[in-house]
Chains A and B, each alone.
Chain A
Amino acid sequence: MDNRKEEFESTCNLFINSISNYFKHLTEIDSDMKVPYLKESQGLILKDFTGMIGISGGRKGFVYISANKDMFADLINMFIGIEDPADEDILDMAGEISNVVAGNVRANLGANFMISVPTVFKGMPEELEIPEDVLVYVIPISWKGHEAFVVIGLD
């Protein structure tokens, strides 16, 4: 179990580096990582808008990024200058961040770490299949005062 946990935490560090790089490279503003923790209970930790990526290949699981509208709207405003984006754009932004954060991990884990196109949703999804028997790691982050969660579930 200890080896499994160590390997899992090592993989989670790749995601931490990936999300840090995303904000730093695109906005030149650092994000702050709070203390990550293993999630013991069932159920999802969600903010208002979420982008989720399925992981297959050598590892199986998921990663999602969930935040309130303000954070995604702030990013959209920085990128394309729209101050009050529609929910459709907010969901698109959530999907794109999750895609980049998951895709960048392949630099270390290789092409056998396969990712899906993003699934995006507002609030609690009506249907969502989450694999069982996965360790779920929650990384709370803060960027420009906006709070968000990066949640990683891997076998």
Chain B
Amino acid sequence: MKKRLLIVDDSSVMRRTIEKNLQEYDLEIIGQASNGVEAIDIVKDEMPDVVTLDITMPEMDGIACLEEIMKIHPETKVMIITALSDKLTGLTALDKGARGFMFKPVNSDDLAKAFDKLLKRNG
């Protein structure tokens, strides 16, 4: 059964880049959101299995959004994809329940490696 994916990033080009690069995976893209508030609405309605989540976004940032997702549906596998490439940001995301993090810029190889690991590890 296909895993259901939500893509969250305030950049439309970035969302479509992630979508294009994950086409080969057994994933159904159930929605895209440009900020944390939109993402939470979709999570409540759709309960995605996997979420790619940016951090620097308007309305609600990715860390606050991650905390909400973990309250609503703690089994969600959240992959943080952020430009904030300091260790503290990555460790904070893991501490709050993310299953992995990637620092932008991410190319197709980076996404493939991360998703191979994420989907294999989590079944």
| Residues of chain A whose beta carbon lies under 8 Å from any beta carbon of chain B | 21-22, 25-26, 76, 79-81, 88-89, 92-93, 95-96, 99-100, 102-104, 106-107, 109-111, 115-117
Contacts and interface: CB of A to CB of B under 8 A. Distances in A.
Interface string B62-93: 00000000000000000000111110110000
Query: What secondary structure prevails in chain B residues at the interface with A?
Result: loop
A92 to B, nearest CB: 5
Nearest to A89: B13
B119 interface: no
A100 B104 contact: yes
Query: What secondary structure prevails in chain A residues at the interface with B?
Result: helix
18 contacts: A22-B105, A25-B105, A26-B107, A80-B17, A92-B13, A96-B14, A99-B11, A99-B83, A99-B104, A100-B104, A100-B105, A103-B83, A104-B83, A106-B89, A109-B86, A111-B89, A116-B56, A117-B57
Contacts, number: 68
Interface residues of B, number: 22
3 tightest CB-CB pairs across the interface, nearest first? A103-B83, A96-B11, A106-B86
A110 B57 CA distance: 19
